Chains A and B, each alone.
Chain A
Amino acid sequence: MAKIEIEIDGKMVRAKPGEMLISVTDREGISVPRFCYHKKLSVAASCRMCLVDVEGAPKPQPACSTPISEGMKIHTQNEKSKSSQKAVMEFLLINHPLDCPICDQGGECELQDVAVEYGSDVSCFSEGKRIVADNDIGPLIQTDMTRCIHCTRCVRFGAEIAGIMEMGGTGRGDHLKIEPFLTEGVTSELSGNMIDVCPVGALTSKPFRYELRSWQMNSTSTIARHDLVGSNINAQTYKGNVKRVVSGDNDAVNETWISDRDRFSYEGLSHENRLLEPQIKIEGQWKEVGWHVALDYAVKGLTSNILNNHQSDQLGVMASKTSTVEEFYLLQKIAREIGSENIDYRLNIKNLDNTAKLESNIKLGGLEGVDHALIVGSNPRLEQPMINHRLRKASLNGTSVDVINSMKFDFNYQLNSENIIAPNQIASTLAGVLSSVLASVSIELPDYLQSIKVSKESASIAEKLNNSDNSVIVLGEHVVNAENSATIVNLIAQIAKHTNSTTLNLSTTANSLAAELTGFVPGSKGMNVNAMLESDLKAYILLDIYPEYDFHHADKAIDALNDKDNFVISLNGFKNDIVSEYSDVILPIAAFYETSGTHININGDMQSFAASVVAPGESKPAWKVFKVLADLLKLPGFNYVDSTQITEEVSHQAHNNHLHNENIDLSITSDNINIIWQQSPYSIDALLRHSGSLQQTKIGKLNFAYMNASVAKDLGVSADSKYLGVPVVITDAVADRCVFVNANKATQTGGES
């Protein structure tokens, strides 16, 4: 669009016609005060703080809702602007308690800053101020609603971004109150952003309440590692502790929002359960020792168990999905240098011969531009909140969304269709889609599709994909352990190919893309995790693994690791009894925020971060531990001084020697009851499981095995009993022949069916 010229404070400025004045002044660095305006929210124009003088207009105009036009002359600093801003400020402060000394927002408060700059030091108002009673709206957000200035940012955030309107303005005039309705409080997975958008101290962080002043803390920018997005965050630290996390800006990644999971997980860092000292087990007794002793012991163990006997292929290494690029890379390098390719991170997969490859070839920003999306096996809102946010934006712009899931979830946007079927049947539905797609482009059906009957649902899903120019197929986590999971993935790849759709693979989360890129997968001569567990290996190095949560075959894993003849080196951030039971050495390692490292997100961005704080006690960043261990083992090529040298090396030699199953086999049509085992969103890694406030939320308490009445009958459970250790909920929201488990605790079985 052709640009036009306007004059602001005597300076000529070019801008797009129709742009709001405030975005022009913001871009030009001209300061205009505001409260209700927020660049990512709709314009409310209710606070009137942004009044400026527009020549020709009789009254001052709100910059946030005045579209510019050619030749406009604006004065932001003249008497007319200044006096109206001052008057508005006076009104805004009428009911504000001015209790800055006891307010958590003090020092980082927009109201305070603007009042100092634009307000007056006397007020004509001498009457009593109103007081607003507070409700408890949940464990994350502290309210002090007497301070609220009714800017409605939090209300609009809920309605527009979080997608559930939880806050609202009840009453009118000076009885207006911003509050949630009824008693549930605020439950959204993105709720913490309300704290960031609130310009005053009405909504502040509850875990951080009365802790510190903003100016006492240092802020370091870092990357959140709980999902595939790698949201940019700022860790605010004081005397070596992370005290609060706020969102960072990065339009290509998380825009300006972050999930509650990313915001509040830091609480786990100071949990009493942190592992602080290296320990070795001598004759069954744990002994805390110095690093030298522990590492010597580890090297000795490896030497006597495998190296001396030339049994280097008897080493198995495994790591948690949340590990950094550097950690994955160094650990696999140690294994390969020693001579073992038994390397794996896919601990939660039931059958690793039944996995297939699906690329993600669309970026987060691109998601907003698709015109159709098909989601298979995912509850994106809770599993990948920031990706769901993009999908929601797309949907608000008219994108249609079809879903094939095994349970009805609470989507915060309209679905075109929601097909609720057991994982067993997803393959046949997708086969129907593929068959219908191929028929429409007159491609001959391959043998495996010959006998497939195309259901009405499949046909309509196919039609949507066919008719759209820019569609995406999103694959989630729920089908990874389906009996025909590889088939499902391969069908999706085929459908995408023939409908020119992009694909987004959300089937494994956290930093698993880094695991793939660094070659943290079994090599051609190596074993995958499940094979390792069956092979009585002589030695293991385990990075941040908590078996009762992490392994699909948890019982088997614990048994295998407990074998008396093996030597297990565990690196963990938190104490865990089962780990103590089977390990011979436990090395305390730095958690999130305490180590430098790199996360790879779904865009393929390698986002590196520095440590925000030093790890507590004797714990050390795992990459440094690996480096020293490698040196002690006299392995070549570990002369790194800092972690950036590692990432450089990684980008030069990306392994990807993974064997994938490319079969499509539609013959598996068993009638077994399918179990989808999902660790609840706030329990997917050790740090989250130790973050107290998150665990108190509604999402944190998700610990249910959902099934319908007939499945419950078959399994012999009822609404007040437990299934696999998880309380049963009987509901028709789940597909027949299927149990959907959202567990926030470990069970003895870890999801074994």
Chain B
Amino acid sequence: MISDQAKKQIDAWVAKYPEDRKSSAVMEALKIVQAENDNSLSAESIQDVADYLGMPGIAAAEVATFYENYNHKPVGKHVIRFCHNISCMLNGSDDLISHLEDKLGVKTGEVTKDGLISVKKVECLGACVGAPMFQIGDQYYENLTAEKIDEIVDGLK
């Protein structure tokens, strides 16, 4: 079920594209629907988006599973999107991810018991110059070290 409010937001995007290309709005529509479902997308909500835009469910699912922006499992209030692509990996992201997992007591893909934080491995976020790095919300945190991570995570409320 897509709420009327979400539909309005989606319609605004649909209006930007030619009439027979409603599906062009799929990325934004998925984002909008995800936002109103505790930041994750169920298969049903992907199908709802597809139906709303008049495209096959699988085509919307292709988009939803291709991009890291979409979550397919419940996530915490804050999602730490940890880059594990080549530059970050060469600069030690693997160890740092383990460190973060140990600190939080969860594995990548899981949510802390208090529902506050979840960790997700993502591909290159275009900040290789500051590798290793992660993103929380709209904020990039670069040149990470174990200490720096502790400090950032402790500050999350």
Interface positions of A (Cβ within 8 A of B) = 159, 164-173, 180-182
Contact = CB atoms under 8 A, between A and B. Distances in A.
A700 B123 CA distance: 45
Contacts of B116: none
A181 B57 contact: yes
B43 interface: yes
9 closest A-B pairs (Cβ-Cβ)?
A168-B58, A181-B58, A165-B56, A170-B65, A181-B57, A181-B61, A168-B62, A172-B66, A171-B65
Nearest to A168: B58
Given A166-B58, A171-B65, A181-B43, 9 more contacts: A165-B56, A165-B58, A168-B59, A168-B62, A170-B66, A172-B66, A180-B58, A181-B46, A181-B47
A392 to B, nearest CB: 15
B4 to A, nearest CB: 24
A159 B66 CA distance: 19
Given A181-B43, A182-B47, A168 B66 contact: no
A171 B66 contact: yes
Contacts of A181: 43, 46-47, 56-58, 61
A164 B50 CA distance: 13
A266 to B, nearest CB: 30
A397 B51 CA distance: 24
Contact of A170 (B47, B56, B62, B123): B62
Nearest to B66: A172
A173 B121 CA distance: 14
A165 B56 CA distance: 6
Contacts of A171: 65-66
Contacts of B66: 170-172
A319 to B, nearest CB: 43
B57 A182 contact: yes
Contacts of B65: 170-172
Contacts of A169: 62
Contacts of A159: 56
Interface in B39-71: 43, 46-47, 56-59, 61-62, 65-66
Nearest to B43: A182
Nearest to A179: B58
Nearest to A166: B58
Residue picked from B57, B58, B123, most chain A C-beta under 10 Å: B58
Interface residues of B, number: 12
A737 B105 CA distance: 65
Contact of B56 (A164, A172, A173): A164
A324 B10 CA distance: 57
B78 to A, nearest CB: 24
Nearest to B57: A181
A412 to B, nearest CB: 11
9 contacts: A164-B56, A166-B56, A168-B56, A168-B62, A169-B62, A172-B66, A180-B58, A181-B47, A182-B57
A173 B66 CA distance: 9
Nearest to A173: B123
Interface of B: 43, 46-47, 56-59, 61-62, 65-66, 123
B22 to A, nearest CB: 14
A181 B46 CA distance: 10
B70 to A, nearest CB: 11
A264 B61 CA distance: 31
Nearest to B20: A414
A180 B58 CA distance: 7
Contacts of B56: 159, 164-166, 168, 181
Contact of B59 (A165, A172, A173, A182): A165
A561 B61 CA distance: 57
B18 to A, nearest CB: 15
Nearest to B55: A165
A182 B47 CA distance: 9
Contacts of A170: 58, 61-62, 65-66
A567 B97 CA distance: 86
A434 to B, nearest CB: 33
A173 B85 CA distance: 12
Nearest to B50: A181
A164 B46 CA distance: 17
A251 to B, nearest CB: 28
A182 B45 CA distance: 11
B83 to A, nearest CB: 14
A355 B118 CA distance: 71
Contacts of B61: 168, 170, 181
Nearest to A167: B58
A373 B58 CA distance: 30
Contacts of B59: 165, 168
B46 to A, nearest CB: 8
A169 B62 CA distance: 6
A736 to B, nearest CB: 27
A182 B44 CA distance: 8
Contacts of B43: 181-182
A51 B54 CA distance: 37
A180 B47 CA distance: 12
A180 B56 CA distance: 11
A71 B59 CA distance: 41
Residue picked from B43, B47, B65, most chain A C-beta under 10 Å: B65
A152 B52 CA distance: 26
A159 B65 CA distance: 19
A185 to B, nearest CB: 12
Contacts of A180: 58
A82 to B, nearest CB: 30
Residue picked from A159, A173, A181, A182, most chain B C-beta under 10 Å: A181
Contacts of B123: 173
A180 B133 CA distance: 35
B49 to A, nearest CB: 12
A172 B68 CA distance: 10
Nearest to B62: A168
Nearest to B67: A172
Contacts of A168: 56, 58-59, 61-62
A170 B46 CA distance: 13
Contacts of B58: 165-168, 170, 180-181
B40 to A, nearest CB: 16
A170 B72 CA distance: 12
A416 to B, nearest CB: 14
A165 B63 CA distance: 14
B119 to A, nearest CB: 18
A153 to B, nearest CB: 15
A182 B66 CA distance: 17
Nearest to B60: A181
A181 B61 CA distance: 7
B85 to A, nearest CB: 10
A181 B59 CA distance: 9
Nearest to B61: A181
B57 to A, nearest CB: 4
A165 B61 CA distance: 12
A171 B67 CA distance: 8
A502 B117 CA distance: 67
A651 B58 CA distance: 51
A165 B57 CA distance: 8
B124 to A, nearest CB: 12
B55 to A, nearest CB: 8
B154 to A, nearest CB: 32
A329 B32 CA distance: 67
A168 B56 CA distance: 10
